[in-house]
Amino acid sequence: MADINAIASQFTTFYYSTFDANRANLAPLYRDQSMLTFEGQQFLGVASISEKLTGLPFQKVIHKVTTIDAQPASSEIASLIVSVTGLLVVDDGDNPLQFSQIFHLIPEGGSYYVFNDIFRLNYGS
């Protein structure tokens, strides 16, 4: 298996730079069997996921990744689980929001697609 930490780092850099520039361009990373769980709501398939991501109620966002952890997800195929934590700066706000996101990446044609994507904001009590 290739260096999963390098793959995870390359993927997250691409994902968040694309998200921050134009969320609609994330659609090719998903497939019809992909699922996004966003703050507890589930979205199945490219169209549903893309609609959710492009419909988020902010104009500008900047992801600042703090940690990236990766593990092999299967002994059968070179899939991996990527766990990300970081900060979101939304619409030039003064108070960044903490987030965590988990991706299950499946190899396809020399690259990877997102099979599962779980996103949560992390609120302090």
- Letter string b/e over residues 64-74, b meaning 16 or more CB atoms within 10 A of that residue's CB: ebeebebeebe
Q: In the prediction, which pLDDT does 49 show?
A: 98
pLDDT tens, residue by residue, 64-113: 999 999 999 998 998 999 999 999 999 988 899 999 999 999 999 989 99
Mean pLDDT of 1-16: 90
Q: In the prediction, which pLDDT does 36 show?
A: 98
Assigned CATH topology for domain 4-121: Nuclear Transport Factor 2; Chain: A, (3.10.450)
pLDDT tens, residue by residue, 27-78: 999 999 999 999 999 999 999 999 999 999 998 999 999 999 999 999 899 8
Q: In the prediction, which pLDDT does 125 show?
A: 56
For the whole model, what pTM was predicted? 0.94
Q: In this model, does residue 1 exceed pLDDT 70?
A: no
**Residue 106, Cβ neighbours under 10 Å: how many?**
19
Q: In the prediction, which pLDDT does 100 show?
A: 98
**Domain range annotation of the chain:** 4-121
pLDDT tens, residue by residue, 11-26: 999 999 999 999 999 9
| Burial zone of 79 (CB within 10 Å; 0-12 exposed, 13-18 middle, 19+ buried) | middle
28: left (phi over 0), alpha (psi -120 to 50) or beta: alpha
Q: In this model, does residue 2 exceed pLDDT 90?
A: no
